[in-house]
Structure 1
Amino acid sequence: MKKAVILGTGSSLPERILTNAELEQVVDTSDEWVTSRTGIRMRRIAGTNEQNYQLATSAGRRALADAGIQPEELDLIVVATISPHMIMPSTACFVQAELGAVNAFAYDINAACAGFTYGLDLARNYIHSRPDMKILLIGAETLSARVNWADRNTCVLFGDGAGAAVLSGCGDGRGIFGTNLHADGRLWKLLFMDSPESRNPDLQREDWQGAFIQMNGSDIFKYAVRLMAESVNSLLTSHAIGVDDISLMIPHQANIRILKNLRDRLGVPEEKVFINVDKYGNTSAASIPIALDEANRQGRLVRGKIVLLCTFGGGLTWGSLLMRW
């Protein structure tokens, strides 16, 4: 049976770099405070002609080039995002138009930071039904438009960017072979971003504070490490795979404390964990595909070797995925 295989990857990052030292001029913080607590030294901030869909299109175009696929060959475009260009139409429709992917249907998904991993599972199931499908999956965020720049607990964490992958069916033993995904909507208040204020007075809420990210950082830390570790261990056990069998782990780039605690809890050697949070911060749904593309272009993804992805985000949503590269 053919599995869903990543044929190519791409990423796109805004030109502007916002350092911790520059943030000191915006909010009550310091480079030492941010670096020691998060591992983040800088992040990218979108500017003119770097709207969400434009970053997504650029990443998608690079993934198509890497895969040797033309836009007209695509059957589906999915964009994972919590910061879409518009609520309607979907960012994926903008990407479809920009690429000229006239034969693809298109839509967005929202699973917060877990969006790209959820999207990989989605693509896997499409390809299981139609192995010849060619799918462009993108994680794209412009979170600089969705943070409260007066809140030092959140504004220092997030950045902008996009990452993409092209998938299709392959029967050579490679591809996605296991997923373990979860959600718990009861815990939504730990990490959320409100909608714009209702235009219907009867639906306006007294507790509405603004359409920006709000987070309970200490609780998120505890849940993120424990739930990702449980998901990974369950997935490895179900496929009779040990940590030593993993060639590379690419986790969601939330902050360095979460990544180190997760690594230690799982027993994964430091050299097998891909980390770039220091350069880009938390880019939510774009986090894993940006890291995946960097790892690919650095030659750290070895054909035939097992790659592990794990993620955690608002919802709460979390999970893990195994593929043979």
Structure 2
Amino acid sequence: MNPVSLVDVGSYLPEQRVTVDFYGGDDDALRESVMFKSPRYRRHVAPGETAVDMIEKAARPVLDRAAARGDGPLDVLLTNVQLPDLPWTGAGAAVAHRLGQDPGWVLDVHNGGCASFVHMLRTARQILRTGEARTALICCAQNTAGQMFAQSEVRRRSHASVPGDGCGVGYLRVGDESPILDIELRNIGEFAGDMGVRLEDGRRYWEPGHSQLDVSFTPDKVRKIIERGNALVPEVVGLLCDRLDVPTSAIDLLVTNQPNRLFLANWRESLGVDAARHPDTFDEYGNLFGAAVPVTLHETLRQGRPRPGDLVVLAGFAHAGDLAAAAAVRWHP
């Protein structure tokens, strides 16, 4: 099969930088949970700003660089949007139009959550390996912080201050210059039911009512998520490195989703990767969900890492643990 490389990434972060003073109020049973310790800052989407707007701003410079290299038209476009602007359609077709592209493959990937970048990396790689396409753009937009979690009642709850808004994209093409070495992905359906919607009036989310849409967290659910999250990321990274015949301690750069300080510290300890090799954007941008991996990788590239030849591992887990994934790339900018 054709080798496929991840050759570029880009990101967009809204201008509005929000402090923790925006939140707080009611006490709840999870106020002291380590899962919901607030970051110092996070970004919020502007009123009226859409997922298509966010993706365009992240993707335009990446596609301009691809055009300058002579890569030709975009063949594959994948998107993951945390809070779709329309319930019936994804963002993909509108993104393609906005970017002036006409890809033969347009897929809106609704599952994947915080591991969606690696999930889409795997999907795009498989399409490109068939020989039916040569280039792909994968896009993650996280847009709940300034919308759902900023509602007047929801923002008073302990978990509301953790998310931040942002968008990250990755560009793939056929070739071995910055090859994707391997990908490990686990779907664990038994955990899917542990994510739920909270509506105080008991209605379904699409039915008329007055309560504000929120994510349902209980102390028992949070305990399960902490247990699973601590285990799943080291597990998929370990399986990946076993197949590559390298110890996890040999990873040059580990880029993960950024859910909270607890997970980041525990993953480093489990994998034998020090903080210098595991970039942390949580305190500046909050939990960016699926966008965290490409945004954090892009931030790290701006700082001069990874270096040519570095082993870069991208990893994360989604929702209450229903998906976990890790990818290895031999980085050559």
Q: TM-score range by the shorter chain?
A: 0.7 to 0.9
Q: 1:52 to 1:28 in 2, by over 3 A?
A: farther
Structure 1 residue 231 displacement after superposition: 1.1
Structure 1 residue 193 displacement after superposition: 4.6
Contact in 2 for aligned 1:229/1:262 (Cα 8 Å): yes
Partner of 1:142: 143
- Read off the aligned partner of 1:45 and give its amino acid letter: H
Partner Cα separation in structure 1 for residue 42 and residue 34 of structure 2: 12
Structure 1 residue 130 displacement after superposition: 1.9
What SS is found at the alignment partner of 2:121? Answer: helix
Contact in 1 for aligned 2:96/2:103 (Cα 8 Å): no
Among 268, 274, 283, the residue aligned to 2:273: 268
What are the within-5 Å matches in structure 2 for residues 148-297 of structure 1? 149-150=154-155, 152-172=157-177, 174-193=178-197, 197-198=205-206, 211-215=213-217, 216-297=221-302
The answer to whether residue 329 in structure 2 is matched with residue 323 in structure 1 is yes
Structure 1 residue 15 displacement after superposition: 0.9
- Read off the aligned partner of 1:105 and give its amino acid letter: W
Contact in 1 for aligned 2:45/2:165 (Cα 8 Å): yes
Partner of 1:52: 51
Report the TM-score, using the length of structure 2 for normalisation. Answer: 0.85
Structure 1 residue 135 displacement after superposition: 0.6
What SS is found at the alignment partner of 2:43? Answer: strand
Contact in 2 for aligned 1:39/1:277 (Cα 8 Å): no
- Read off the aligned partner of 1:182 and give its amino acid letter: R
Partner Cα separation in structure 2 for residue 196 and residue 140 of structure 1: 25
- Read off the aligned partner of 1:250 and give its amino acid letter: V
Q: 1:264 to 1:219 in 2, by over 3 A?
A: same
Structure 1 residue 48 displacement after superposition: 3.1
What are the within-5 Å matches in structure 2 for residues 17-56 of structure 1? 17-24=17-24, 38=37, 40-56=39-55
- Read off the aligned partner of 2:78 and give its amino acid letter: V
Structure 1: gaps of 5 or more residues: 202-208
Q: 1:318 to 1:9 in 2, by over 3 A?
A: same
Q: 1:228 to 1:170 in 2, by over 3 A?
A: same
Aligned length: 315
Contact in 2 for aligned 1:45/1:160 (Cα 8 Å): yes
Partner Cα separation in structure 2 for residue 94 and residue 196 of structure 1: 28
Contact in 1 for aligned 2:127/2:133 (Cα 8 Å): no
Partner Cα separation in structure 1 for residue 26 and residue 20 of structure 2: 10
- Read off the aligned partner of 1:74 and give its amino acid letter: L
Contact in 2 for aligned 1:231/1:319 (Cα 8 Å): yes
Q: Give identity over the alignment, percent.
A: 24
What SS is found at the alignment partner of 1:303? Answer: coil
- Read off the aligned partner of 1:188 and give its amino acid letter: A
Report the TM-score, using the length of structure 1 for normalisation. Answer: 0.87
Structure 1 residue 116 displacement after superposition: 0.9
Q: 1:165 to 1:139 in 2, by over 3 A?
A: same
CA-based RMSD: 2.9
Contact in 2 for aligned 1:143/1:283 (Cα 8 Å): no
What are the within-5 Å matches in structure 2 for residues 43-122 of structure 1? 43-68=42-67, 73-110=73-110, 111-122=112-123
Q: 1:39 to 1:176 in 2, by over 3 A?
A: farther
Partner Cα separation in structure 2 for residue 94 and residue 182 of structure 1: 30
Partner Cα separation in structure 1 for residue 119 and residue 133 of structure 2: 21
Structure 2: gaps of 5 or more residues: none
- Read off the aligned partner of 1:56 and give its amino acid letter: I
Q: 1:132 to 1:91 in 2, by over 3 A?
A: closer
Partner Cα separation in structure 2 for residue 160 and residue 6 of structure 1: 24
Structure 1 residue 82 displacement after superposition: 2.5
